[in-house]
A = this chain, B = another copy of it.
């Protein structure tokens, strides 16, 4: 089978379906999402069989336990996927919502409304639940979607997407709106990222390597998501208890995710008092600390941090620690090494809080709370397709609104331009 030709066929079918998706009533989309949720639960056995084969192969390849855990499905995880589809059905539909309007002096009435982006390509890795989540969000926002999951989950993803698309088309979703790429071959990605005639945007979800590869090679516009080198700066006036709580939460509540903290900065004036307390709390949570020279003079049990540490997303129970002399140094360090995701300050000083929020260049800038809150659900968006770390189109948690564009509708009575 010619991958290129097949991909062109899929993308063409998605594009044709996108025009119909764009004007599909909310009620039809919601009914379809509920039918898709039911189908997932009804066909759970079929999906689990496929998943067992993927797991067997992954084990034989010797993939590590955390990877196998991400790949693994069970009844409960399938129910959670179904629940996600039902929650998406319950969210407000962004399509056709007006977000601006005016009447011009010549009488022209101008309205701006939200419209779908068109065809969204999602390229993702091991978690098969992305298949259901991403499909639901794209369909609800009136888009057609082309899903390309990782080769290790190919059987699970094929089973899920086949169950979903059958249920969707039966429930009046236009045929072609939900495409799944069943080629494990990498060529599929490289073809997909060049179909700029038919695909409007590609959103990669996965590790830094996948994202970099897509960004560097795609001629279709890309929204970058999910790389997070997040910081917490403990200012001289910080409440120590609060600072330790926030640091522990930001580092240890889920170290593998993108909004987890990777580097803690501490003001020199309090470093000698604060760092031993921090080190003790982190030790109790099995966190390895890697400090700058000054930190290590205070806490000699810390390992030495190298230049590379400052730009590393550990995704693990490791934290780099650095002493800074003032706000200038803290902000300069963050703007140099962050990935534009999430950074926090712990302080009692209102001026420093304000300055930190103004000058730190990131999607989310926190005062006296944990970077772990950068999340579509926590922000109240009801769902998210990822966290954008770029400035174009969308920044921060991307909900349904961020999967839409706009269109201007102008109503006249024969006016012409002079």
Residues of A near any B CB (own CB < 8 A): 19, 22-23, 102, 104, 108, 110, 112, 115, 117-118, 196, 200-201, 215-216, 219, 221-223, 239, 242, 245-246, 248-250, 253, 335, 353, 357-359, 361-370, 372-374, 378-380, 390-393, 395-396, 405-417
Contacts and interface: CB of A to CB of B under 8 A. Distances in A.
30 contacts: A19-B361, A23-B358, A104-B378, A108-B369, A108-B378, A115-B391, A201-B392, A216-B219, A221-B390, A221-B392, A242-B414, A353-B411, A363-B408, A366-B410, A367-B409, A368-B412, A369-B412, A369-B414, A369-B416, A370-B412, A370-B416, A373-B415, A374-B408, A392-B393, A393-B393, A395-B405, A395-B408, A396-B406, A396-B407, A396-B408
Contacts of A370: 412, 415-417
A245 B416 CA distance: 7
Contacts of A367: 409-412
Contacts of A219: 215-216
A202 to B, nearest CB: 11
Given A372-B417, A380-B102, A415-B369, A364 B410 contact: yes
Interface-central residue, A102, A216, A222, A408, by most chain B CB under 10 Å: A408
A380 B104 contact: yes
A253 B415 CA distance: 13
| Most chain B CB atoms below 10 A, which of A200, A378, A410 | A410
Nearest to A396: B408
Contacts of A239: 414
Contacts of A112: 396
Contact of A200 (B215, B363, B391): B391
B392 A392 contact: yes
Contacts of A200: 391-392
Identical chains bound together, number: 2
A112 to B, nearest CB: 8
A392 to B, nearest CB: 5
B221 A110 contact: no
A147 to B, nearest CB: 19
Contacts of A215: 196, 219
Given A216-B219, A221-B390, A391-B405, 12 more contacts: A22-B361, A223-B392, A246-B416, A248-B416, A249-B417, A364-B407, A365-B408, A366-B411, A370-B417, A373-B410, A395-B406, A396-B407
A26 to B, nearest CB: 14
Contact of A391 (B117, B353, B396, B410): B117
Nearest to A373: B417
Given A392-B392, A410-B373, A417 B378 contact: yes
A222 B218 CA distance: 12
Contacts of A368: 411-414
Contacts of A249: 416-417
A379 B365 contact: no
B405 A246 contact: no
Nearest to A335: B19
A344 B55 CA distance: 55
Nearest to A418: B253
Nearest to A365: B409
A392 B117 contact: yes
Nearest to A359: B23
Given A239-B414, A246-B416, A416-B253, A408 B379 contact: yes
Contacts of A246: 414, 416
A269 to B, nearest CB: 21
Nearest to A412: B369
Contacts of A361: 19, 22, 118
A379 B390 CA distance: 28
A221 to B, nearest CB: 5
A383 to B, nearest CB: 16
